[in-house]
Amino acid sequence: MLIKNAAVKGPQAFTGDILIEEGKVTALGRHLFAPAEATIIDAAGKAVIPGLVDVHVHFREPGFEQKETIKTGAAAAAHGGFTTVVAMPNLNPVPDNVADLKRLVAKNHSDAKIHVEQFAAITSGLHSNELTDYAAMKAAGALGFSNDGVGIQDAATMYHAMQGAAAVNAPIVAHIEDNGLMAGGVISTGSKAQAFNLPGINHVSESAQLARDLTLAEATGVHYHACHVSTKQSVELIRDAKARGVHVTAEVTPHHLLLDYEHIPANDPNYKMNPPLRAEMDRLALIEGLADGTLDMIATDHAPHTAEDKAGDFKSAAFGIVGSETAFSLLYTSFVRSGKFTLNQLLNWMSTNPANAFGLDAGTIGIGQPADLTLVDLDTPFTIDANTWYSKGKNSPFIGRQVFGKVMTTIAGGEIAYEEEKL
Ligand SMILES: NC(=O)N[C@@H](CC(=O)O)C(=O)O
Ligand SMILES: [Zn+2]
Ligand SMILES: [Zn+2]
């Protein structure tokens, strides 16, 4: 494959041609020659960016295929410009043993055109206090361990999990939430919980458990990754822990960066997710945390649900929103087009940093690197339209927004994983 007239963005910015052979970039330069049978892609007028990396998606297979499958989830990610994603284990059966994990890893590979990595469960069944076999599951392909969807309630369980993960040099990827403090809430405490008469979620339900975890991470030396950080206090705790040398990385979602609870227009479950949209001061602290490196990366927490699961109001609907097909355009528009941040910064947060944090062979365009890259139209505005999505989930608060940064072509491992249909 030869990509001609590529305006490459990111750390290795240049303009020219990219030659791809056997899944890798083999030459960069001007007027490169391609063999007669090569696929030629003209990138004139588009930006070429490193394939995006999303370390937090829910593909729902096996167990909940009505919400998403590996195939539809991976197609949605490719449509969003992602070439590598990491899938969460809140599935049925839960990948908490070698046999189920191996089946899942094989299916991630066979059903997806992009790279799909897998987190396995920290504890058996995701809810128990019984640790899974980290050495065996790492050998079977687990990138790390997570009970995403539910926090580890017992400190001793988390402590021993961290010791076990550290011993096999694997990360603990934490959904941080104290169930007692969450107290059955469905929306952040504050004006909207009052206006809609809904039970509130206190922000300390995240930060109290995070403080515990950072203490345990420091004691065990594990790589601790904080999922979907959502409060000002959490940002401060991570900033302090990093200053002390704790091996902690952290992600923030597009929705927590772009929305706070004041933006919730009505008792509409497309704004319901875990953790909830917090206060404006929290949102501003997340942006500041990203800017100063306290938060390392952006991850979507793509959480597809059926229309039935998202029907009704905040009380009855499932937690979670989709994110794969809107993340880049939303953030490019709000952060880069607005002049607040550079495209380089956004690409660090959406590609280079997550790849580096999890040791993934991704995140840069260079000779010898995997040919994972995305062509985007940065200049033509378009409207977010769920009818164009590959995900089975249409649960998003961003439908109808006007944005820039449309993904035109996604190439993963030298193969086309998504291509915008030409008129
Ligand atoms: N984010 C959510 O609200 N829901 C996620 C679980 C999770 O990420 O905690 C899901 O699996 O639906
Ligand atoms: Zn979670
Ligand atoms: Zn999640």
Structural domains in the chain, sorted by start:
51-363 (3.20.20.140)
Q: What is the Cα–Cα distance from 322 to 340, expressed in whole angstroms?
A: 25
* CB neighbourhood size of 133 (10 A): 17
Number of the ligand closest to the Cα of 227: 2
Residue 77 DSSP symbol: H
Q: What are the C-alpha distances in Å from 244 to residues 56, 83, 113, 163?
A: 26, 34, 41, 19
Residue 59 annotated as part of some ligand binding site: yes
> Does residue 260 carry a catalytic annotation?
no
**Cα of 42 to ligand 2 centre, how many Å?**
40
Tell which one of 58, 61, 209, 227 to mutate to probe ligand 1, the residue whose CB is within 8 A of the most ligand atoms.
58
Q: What is the Cα–Cα distance from 250 to 256, expressed in whole angstroms?
A: 13
* CB neighbourhood size of 219 (10 A): 12
Q: What is the Cα–Cα distance from 160 to 156, expressed in whole angstroms?
A: 6
Helix 204-220, helix 155-167: angle, nearest 10 = 40
Token pair in block for residue 211: 């403080």
Q: Answer yes or no: is the ipTM higher than 0.95.
A: yes
Residue 100 annotated as part of some ligand binding site: no
Residue 296 annotated as part of some ligand binding site: no
E strand spans, 82-222: 82-87, 115-120, 142-146, 172-174, 187-188, 200-201
Out of 100, 296, 301, 309, the active site residue is: 301
pLDDT, position 11: 78
Residue 328 annotated as part of some ligand binding site: no
Burial of residue 103, with CB atoms counted within 10 A of its CB: 0-12 exposed, 13-18 middle, 19 or more buried: middle
Nearest CA residue ID for atom 10, ligand 1: 303
Minimal CA–CA distance to 100: which of 65, 58, 69, 133? 133
Atom number in ligand 1 closest to CA 305: 12
pLDDT, position 244: 97
Reduced to 3 states (helix: H, G, I; strand: E, B; else coil), residue 413 is coil
- Label residues 254-279 b or e (16+ Cβ within 10 Å = b): bbbbbbbbeebeebebbbbbbbbbbb
Nearest CA residue ID for atom 3, ligand 1: 320
pLDDT, position 421: 84
pLDDT, position 423: 53
328 close to 80: Cβ distance less than 8 angstroms: yes
Q: For the whole prediction, is pTM greater than 0.90?
A: yes
Below-70 pLDDT ranges, the chain: 422-423
52-57 vs 415-419, strand pairing mode: unpaired
**Cα of 2 to ligand 3 centre, how many Å?**
37
Residue 319 annotated as part of some ligand binding site: yes
**Cα of 297 to ligand 2 centre, how many Å?**
15
Q: What is the CA radius of gyration of the chain?
A: 21
Nearest CA residue ID for atom 4, ligand 1: 320
Residue ranges in 140-178 assigned as alpha helix (H): 155-167
Q: What is the Cα–Cα distance from 298 to 351, expressed in whole angstroms?
A: 9
Q: What is the Cα–Cα distance from 321 to 413, expressed in whole angstroms?
A: 28
Atom number in ligand 1 closest to CA 319: 3
| Residues within 6 Å of ligand 1 by CB | 58, 90, 148-149, 175, 273-274, 301, 303, 319-320
pLDDT, position 71: 98
Nearest CA residue ID for atom 2, ligand 1: 320
pLDDT, position 246: 98
Residue 37, amino acid: E
